[in-house]
Amino acid sequence: MPSISEKGKMMPASPIRKLVPFAEEAKRKGRKVYHLNIGQPDIPTPEPALKAIREMDLEVVAYSHSAGNESYRRKLAAYYTSIGIPVDHHQLLITTGGSEAILFAMMTCFNPGEEVITPEPFYANYNGFAAAAGVKINPITSVIENGFALPPVSEIEKKIGPSTKGIIICNPNNPTGYLYSKEELYQLRDIVNKYDLYLFSDEVYREFCYDGKSHFSAMQLEGIEENVIMLDSVSKRYSSCGSRIGALVTRNSEVINTALKFAQARLSPPSFGQLAAEASLDTPPEYFEKVYDEYIHRRDFLVEALNKMPGVDCPVPGGAFYAIARLPVDDSDAFSQWLLSDFEYKNATVMLAPASGFYATPGLGKQEVRIAYVLKIDDLREAMKCLEVALKEYPGRTV
């Protein structure tokens, strides 16, 4: 039997999905599982998107343009322009989810063996795309004590070596919920400029910024226009994860032209998803106000509930819909699996994402979990009750 590739062997399983078989087993036993492991909101997809699908009149479901339908690209460019990111439709490619935008950006910009710096904990699926592109992720550790702020510039500069080709940030951050300030982005700009790096800015949670703070996009940084690649998605903005529609946005035309070659190889992004995504841009503002209020409500409830539990520490996230909590357990991987395999409270349990998988440095995140507050308050309440009981019962508790 021929062997599996080295990158396939080395690639870590997704911390979000690796416990899925245990969750399936728990469900087979008849248990209710509260899914706090994955950023799959229970928020309804906007009606204009659903309507566009129900009323679609395609007779032949054909390939679209490899860069995405021009009508959608124009409308999306107008949307970005309206929120202070002026681009035109030649400066973006529609991708199959934000995932493909990350993959294309890595394939286009980095050679195998080159390095990309990213603050850890980071979105674990960067590992998969880095493995695919043969790129090494060089982590710079952010810490729970200051709510996972950007590490000091001096620390970032220490990481830069001859193989360093770029920096990836996710803002607001998944998994920490941290919202980078304008000042932090200016600091990144200076590093990017000084060392001529790419700056990948994953902004799929852009519209989820709380506490009166506004989002500052890497696309708004002057002087590094050719270095910045924005990665985006409709998954979270319109609760439309299954549509698999994202975008790669940059003012660097060489990057667009090269990424388009990878896009042409896979022919086109999904046609139905593009219909939904284009129609989503007509979602009335009331939808977002309601969603926004709901997430703040959930966040506040979650963070308060967590911090009330003995030994639990959870900083208040400034954006997105994730929080990292430190739990009084020996090993959050073991605890998360135990929750699914050995625990139940009123015939229910909780699925968490162990944070170790969001760190590249071995040993970090061992007491932390990522919690996605994507469930309605009543469900969150039940989930928190479960978690509280579980923390008392867990044999590996440390408090």
Window 325 to 384, contacts with its own copies (CB under 8 A): none
Position among 171, 240, 336, 356 found at the interface with its own copies (CB under 8 A): 240
Count of residues interacting with its own copies (CB under 8 A): 87
Task: Check residue 100 for interaction with its own copies (CB under 8 A).
Answer: yes
Cβ proximity to its own copies, 7 vs 385, nearer residue = 7
Q: Does residue 321 contact residue 298 with C-beta atoms inside 8 Å?
A: yes
Tell me the H-state helices in the chain: 6-10, 20-28, 47-54, 70-82, 97-109, 125-133, 153-159, 182-195, 253-265, 271-280, 285-308, 332-341, 377-393
Task: Check residue 56 for interaction with its own copies (CB under 8 A).
Answer: yes
Q: Does residue 221 contact residue 228 with C-beta atoms inside 8 Å?
A: yes
SS3 353: strand
Residue 394: name the closest of 315, 308, 327, 326 by CA: 327
Give the interface segment with its own copies, choosing from 191-199, 215-223, 287-295, 378-386 (CB under 8 A): 191-199
Task: Check residue 28 for interaction with its own copies (CB under 8 A).
Answer: no
Task: Check residue 9 for interaction with its own copies (CB under 8 A).
Answer: yes
Q: How many CB atoms sit inside 10 A of residue 203's CB? A: 21
Window 245 to 264, contacts with its own copies (CB under 8 A): 252, 254-255, 258-259, 261-262, 264
CB of 249 to its own copies, least distance (A): 17
Q: Give me 379's structure tokens.
A: 């469900």
Position among 80, 89, 94, 96 found at the interface with its own copies (CB under 8 A): 96
Q: Does residue 49 contact residue 280 with C-beta atoms inside 8 Å?
A: yes
Residues recorded for the chain: 399
Cβ proximity to its own copies, 8 vs 161, nearer residue = 8
Position among 25, 27, 42, 88 found at the interface with its own copies (CB under 8 A): 42
Window 60 to 89, contacts with its own copies (CB under 8 A): 60-66
Task: Check residue 153 for interaction with its own copies (CB under 8 A).
Answer: no
Q: How many CB atoms sit inside 10 A of residue 355's CB? A: 29
Window 110 to 149, contacts with its own copies (CB under 8 A): 110-112, 125, 127-129, 132-134
